[in-house]
Amino acid sequence: MTNEPRTFDYPVRGAKSCPVCGQSSYSKDGIHPQCAVQLADESRKEKLQAARKATQTGEPKQKSWNKQCPLCKAQLHVRRKECDCGHVFRQTKSSV
CB of 93 to Zn ion, least distance (A): 21
> From the list 33, 72, 78, 81, which residue makes contact with Zn ion (rule: CB under 5 A)?
72
Distance CA 46, CA 4 (A): 49
21 makes contact with Zn ion (CB under 5 A): yes
Distance CA 27, CA 36 (A): 11
How many residues belong to the site for Zn ion (CB under 5 A)?
A: 12
15 makes contact with Zn ion (CB under 5 A): no
Distance CA 47, CA 27 (A): 27
CB of 9 to Zn ion, least distance (A): 15
